[in-house]
Amino acid sequence: MDFYEKLPTDMLIAFYQEILDNIERGILSKNMYYELGLIISVASVRGITLGKPCDFKPVVNQTLLDEYIQHGQDYHELKDSSLASCGL
């Protein structure tokens, strides 16, 4: 998720569109749906609403995706507080 958080918004949306196009062509794996979920999550934090493919729910275990996203957010909060306590 860290990778997507560092991307400029236009590049994030370009990744999103490319993955969607490939899903529609049927050339991507199940893992790409999780990547799409991460992109949608990062976009949401930026105030951008991106749609999910119609078959997103049957393919993606939403609970696992949510846990992964939460873990990433917890990591960043811990990292930020550690840096702040060190005066960085």
Quick: pLDDT tens for 23-43.
Answer: 788 886 777 777 888 888 888
What CA–CA distance (Å, rounded) separates 14 from 84? Answer: 34
Contact in structure between 40 and 50 (CB atoms under 8 Å): yes
- Type of residue numbered 19: I
**Residue 72, Cα to own-chain centre: how many angstroms?**
10
Count up the domains in the chain and report the number: 1
Comparison of pLDDT for 72 and 5, the residue scoring more? 5
What CA–CA distance (Å, rounded) separates 38 from 43? Answer: 9
Contact in structure between 32 and 22 (CB atoms under 8 Å): yes
Q: What range defines the domain where residue 46 resides?
A: 2-85
Comparison of pLDDT for 42 and 53, the residue scoring more? 42
Model pTM score: 0.60
